[in-house]
Amino acid sequence: MDRRALITTGLALSATTVAAGRAAAQPTPAAAKEAKVGSGTPPASTYTAEELVKRVSDALGVTVEAAGGALERALKDNGRPTGYIAGEEASGAMTVGLRYGRGLLYMKDRPTQDVFWQGPSIGWDLGGNASRVFTLCYDLQYPDAIFRRFPGVDGSAYLVGGLGVNYARADGITLAPIRAGVGLRLGANVGYLSYSRKRNIWPF
């Protein structure tokens, strides 16, 4: 083989090697999602409406039909959640409001986690209520990711046996609390909730 043929063959082999290396380095969509979740940790599994409706009904003390109606809207807006928080909270407001709550975070193939939340709000808002809360968690990949501040807009009218849904979002995670309230609270407000591992009296 002459010198020109050797050079041509060598260049062809080099180009093939570089292309193969680039292809190996380029992550597949599944690998990219896994890397985002964490090394060696698969993406969190999701819950279907059938799995959730009885749990919402039991947690909030409402009928299956009422639970199904609230779930239908939340699932239509956001898809299937990767987790949920079942708990309770109390809040009150006179223009400026405060909210405190606690519950358990459930995820498939992840440890159950105690969760507390607290936060202020401001707006046209008056009254107080104690609520059972069932919070749907979207794109939450592991329990510790819940511990952050979630801003949101809450416009609601709580009556005895009332049921309401609102959304809060932060860093790609969406929370959809479904509340069954006792008491009277009318208004619309803007605020945030901070989720923590321990109870914090200071809400800010």
Q: Please state, in angstroms and rounded to a whole number, the distance separating the CA atoms of residues 128 and 142.
A: 33
**Tokens encoding 3:** 């010198």
Tens of pLDDT along the chain (204 residues) come to 454 443 344 434 444 433 444 444 344 444 434 444 555 678 999 999 999 999 999 999 888 888 888 888 889 889 999 999 999 998 776 666 788 999 999 999 999 999 999 988 666 656 677 789 999 999 999 999 999 999 875 544 433 345 778 888 899 999 998 888 655 555 555 677 899 999 887 766
Q: Is 171 helix (H, G, I), strand (E, B) or coil?
A: coil
Q: Which residues contact 176 (CB under 8 A, 6 or more apart)?
A: 74, 77, 78, 81, 135, 136, 138, 165, 166, 167
Q: Is 77 helix (H, G, I), strand (E, B) or coil?
A: helix
Q: Is 81 helix (H, G, I), strand (E, B) or coil?
A: coil
Q: Is 53 helix (H, G, I), strand (E, B) or coil?
A: helix
Q: Is 198 helix (H, G, I), strand (E, B) or coil?
A: coil
Q: Please state, in angstroms and rounded to a whole number, the distance separating the CA atoms of residues 165 and 174.
A: 13
